[in-house]
Structure 1
């Protein structure tokens, strides 16, 4: 096709019939809206605008026909998703009798009051040329189409029969588009840089200055939101969970069944604006028969058609929406052997590196994962996917006789947060009468700051030295059973502690204590005499005691010493865990981190 008018005519002429009677998958109108028309408009705009600053994206729906198909032009600094922000967008009415070129707003992550107030402000203050600024757009009877009628700032309407009968020329369409893009540029220059860059949306109906809302304050709001849903977790757990995700986007939540591990992930996700409704939270139940990466990422069936795995579409959506975080929960992760189905994903995670301000990995799939006979052109859809830096993976694990243990390969690559403490009466002390709103955060809230220790050294050299020297003293004890930690754990412990101190979330010793629990102690298990010796030396290291010089059955004395003196310990949580592990060793002749 050689003109915008040709594309618009084809859509208004064919879409309604296709939506009502034809298969969605593989339809030519999908290719037209996702590829052909965006590429044509990109070419038209490139002579007047720096096209590398924009994302041009069209859609006829996700899995099913949309009532109102659209094509959006988004300034990357303002938004990369139609769910929020301001952008230029062609909207097709549900009955295909009208097409609107609009200067519009995302409605998914805003309330009606928010986007109508912004609409009215911009209508009053901006020069919107001769575009219409009434509320007479007619898109749909209900749903998001109705919301986009109200969020519209200005528009131009094209009747379908006028397009079809050549009453509207290509020149008019191009001139309107260029004028609308000029308005978009004025908005960026005059409003976004001065106002939007200074604000962060922090809740439905709430707007806070970014400078006035610290990470600690955001986490307090998250904790309040979670409590308002009727769930109470131990002190510092939310801070610990946040720091673990910030350090590396792979965290394990371990403990006995029923302690709220999966619920914590879901509630934390909802508290920062990620839900199954907006496709930014995905719960995947691991099946016991998973035995290779195909079960997670996908495989080609007997006909040669690629069947995407349960995580692949979320990865694709996250890659297309880099401004927002996406959380995936692998529920009961160790029902199957993690090393069998997850090793490829873990290996790709270790290829993380910076390209500009983005963290990239090697591609998840290659051409050998696709069959040449694939009728869905899956290679084009999925072959260039990598793990995006806004994807955060949390595995919940139950450590009992029904599950599989973890190898050091997995434990080395995650923070393993264990919580078995349950207070069934905690809800009695809470007041849930007020409705607590969720935050709206961008990906910077969770995005990893550091990938290599050398990134820290120019600004945190003294802190890194002190932490690493303490870790080396710990390593001297662990070496006796070849349990010492390596460079990866050294680096990630440093990242965690620096983030905790910079954001004033945890004291230095508290942060190091949690990292010992989460990165070091899970490696310890065994029945040999050297294991008991290491346990006693570790307890001395954490508490300042001298039990490693004594012989005999010591577990009861160690436990009583912990109970009487824990407030004076340097690392009390790790000391408590070691006391439990020592008791198990003396009672069973074997111990491990997992009690």
Structure 2
């Protein structure tokens, strides 16, 4: 008998076992011996690796398939509904639905597999518990039961997703903390001969965790593109495995077609590399994928990246995972494609006469990280031992918070302390009409929680980075209010009044609260004093 015939045999005769002793033996034999043997014969269903058990529920039978090596109480089950009208192929956690959301998040979308709450097994307490534990399922109506081929294909697909989850679950137990992973990334970068402070590496990490889009700025030669590439490599993403893509931006980009794709003269859609990376990320949700937009401001960012930025802002929670609005809502083939949570975008920029400036809209949507330190005599890397890349799962790097309510109840006092400081800054920015809004407030709070709870930064160290990256890039101009606003921010950051003769001002980093912001503010003020105009983006030569 085939798998199909034996499943239908149980549906037809299961209730007869209570009235007929011989039929009871036949049903028991079918459930506990013959059906498991049929499944063992399917390619890939090894008796060495799997334990298949036929069991009786309170009012329904089910067949459980579990890995012998797995510690997680998760398995693949065939369940016959109490009314005998349906059979479900499911993946669930038997003890409790604790990992249900995680399973759904880690499983790529598939047209055969459902992830909703609409499974109906029965009315008994046990049936309800099974319904609550079902993370994935494929429903079969007995009256329209699928072919043997379809049943086997479905089982193979479900088992592949089961094995993928078990691999991720096993790796999560070995997963390092944020602090340990940041130290690994730092030593990996250091071993390649590029010099970055540990705090700078941690800052990039927390910025990406806050939002999967960051901008690296600085003078040419400071290794902005390289840190993005090495950061990706250090967590297991490389060109060889297709998890990293370097996209040099062209000056003639005026819309998103070069990134996402376009329809050619023959009417065929040509996928851009950005869309290809999205598809890879969707198919492998447990792995990080990184896109580097190199020299992204040689074209106007708001023109070619606006669609993607809008979609990033639409992030929301759905069944325990982060989803966005569709990227191509009107396209017949890609209308359901969205930006997955395991995709990260890192842009690099140079600011000179050949590039374009950024709008406030863009600056509000990212952390702008400046790299201007070059240390040519950093030879420690020659003594560094080669380190293995850790098995980094995207769960560790992806955002945990999307809305302020996600973080407020657990970290209420910290959020309130951050907000008090931001109100002080907003009072200064008001005279320049550059106040920060709710989006910036929320993302500063997310960054601060990640950074402080990791043990990498104190409150002042983390907030110093946020002033530097979320507040100061907004400021530029040649009017009196700009200069006065900069001086007040300098006083806020350093608790000292700037000398009238700006060129003789000295900043003692050990004695001030926010030294990184203080140095940048002094730089901006000196430029204003010398040239009558200042900007975050223009460095000063003394």
Q: Report matched runs for 1:112-191 at 5 Å.
A: none
1:310-348 deviation digits (Å, cap 9, x = unpaired): 201101111121111111100110010101111111111
1:7-43 deviation digits (Å, cap 9, x = unpaired): xxxxxxxxxxxxxxxxxxxxxxxxxxxxxxxxxxx9x
Residues 307, 422 of structure 1: alpha-carbon distance in 2 compared, 3 angstrom cutoff: same
Counterpart of 2:443 in structure 1 is 492
Matched, 1:209 2:180: no
Greater than 4 Å deviation, 4+ residue runs: 44-49, 51-54, 75-81, 173-185
Q: What secondary structure does 2:217 align onto?
A: strand
Mapped partners of 2:484, 2:315: distance in 1: 38
Matched, 1:449 2:372: no
Matched, 1:566 2:518: no
Candidates 211, 227, 231, aligned match of 2:194: 231
Matched, 1:357 2:320: yes
Counterpart of 2:483 in structure 1 is 532
Candidates 453, 469, 472, aligned match of 1:502: 453
Counterpart of 2:417 in structure 1 is 466
Mapped partners of 1:274, 1:180: distance in 2: 28
Q: Report matched runs for 1:242-391 at 5 Å.
A: 242-367=205-330, 370=331, 379-380=332-333, 382-391=334-343
Counterpart of 1:147 in structure 2 is none
1:399-440 deviation digits (Å, cap 9, x = unpaired): 1111111111111100000011100111x2334463211111
- Is the 1:222–1:439 contact (alpha carbons within 8 Å) kept by the matching residues of 2? no
1:457-494 deviation digits (Å, cap 9, x = unpaired): 11111110010011100110110010111111011001
- Is the 1:318–1:390 contact (alpha carbons within 8 Å) kept by the matching residues of 2? yes
Residues 407, 439 of structure 1: alpha-carbon distance in 2 compared, 3 angstrom cutoff: same
Q: What secondary structure does 1:50 align onto?
A: strand
Mapped partners of 1:517, 1:444: distance in 2: 28
Matched, 1:476 2:423: no
Mapped partners of 2:336, 2:530: distance in 1: 53
- Is the 1:234–1:421 contact (alpha carbons within 8 Å) kept by the matching residues of 2? no
Matched, 1:591 2:534: yes
1:183 to partner: Cα distance = 9.2
Mapped partners of 2:151, 2:266: distance in 1: 48
TM-score (normalizing by structure 1): 0.64
Residues 433, 446 of structure 1: alpha-carbon distance in 2 compared, 3 angstrom cutoff: closer
Counterpart of 1:576 in structure 2 is 519
Q: What secondary structure does 2:369 align onto?
A: strand
Residues 589, 441 of structure 1: alpha-carbon distance in 2 compared, 3 angstrom cutoff: same
Residues 288, 438 of structure 1: alpha-carbon distance in 2 compared, 3 angstrom cutoff: same
Counterpart of 1:100 in structure 2 is none
Candidates 189, 200, 205, aligned match of 2:171: 200
Counterpart of 2:9 in structure 1 is none
Q: What secondary structure does 2:171 align onto?
A: strand
Matched, 1:421 2:373: yes
Mapped partners of 1:429, 1:360: distance in 2: 43
Residues 175, 451 of structure 1: alpha-carbon distance in 2 compared, 3 angstrom cutoff: closer
Residues 268, 45 of structure 1: alpha-carbon distance in 2 compared, 3 angstrom cutoff: farther
1:274 to partner: Cα distance = 0.6
Candidates 380, 385, 391, aligned match of 1:440: 391
Mapped partners of 1:593, 1:333: distance in 2: 17
Residues 52, 474 of structure 1: alpha-carbon distance in 2 compared, 3 angstrom cutoff: same
Mapped partners of 1:439, 1:179: distance in 2: 32
Counterpart of 1:401 in structure 2 is 353
Mapped partners of 1:179, 1:293: distance in 2: 40
Mapped partners of 1:341, 1:299: distance in 2: 13
Q: What secondary structure does 2:409 align onto?
A: helix
Matched, 1:555 2:520: no
Q: What secondary structure does 2:496 align onto?
A: coil
Mapped partners of 2:89, 2:403: distance in 1: 34
Counterpart of 1:430 in structure 2 is 381
Mapped partners of 2:523, 2:466: distance in 1: 18
Residues 536, 298 of structure 1: alpha-carbon distance in 2 compared, 3 angstrom cutoff: same
Aligned residues: 413
Residues 296, 181 of structure 1: alpha-carbon distance in 2 compared, 3 angstrom cutoff: closer
Q: Report matched runs for 1:10-89 at 5 Å.
A: 50-51=89-90, 80=107
Residues 529, 441 of structure 1: alpha-carbon distance in 2 compared, 3 angstrom cutoff: same
1:181 to partner: Cα distance = 9.6
Counterpart of 1:15 in structure 2 is none
- Is the 1:78–1:192 contact (alpha carbons within 8 Å) kept by the matching residues of 2? no
Structure 2: which 5+ runs fail to align?
A: 5-75, 81-85, 94-101, 109-146
Q: Report matched runs for 1:92-111 at 5 Å.
A: none
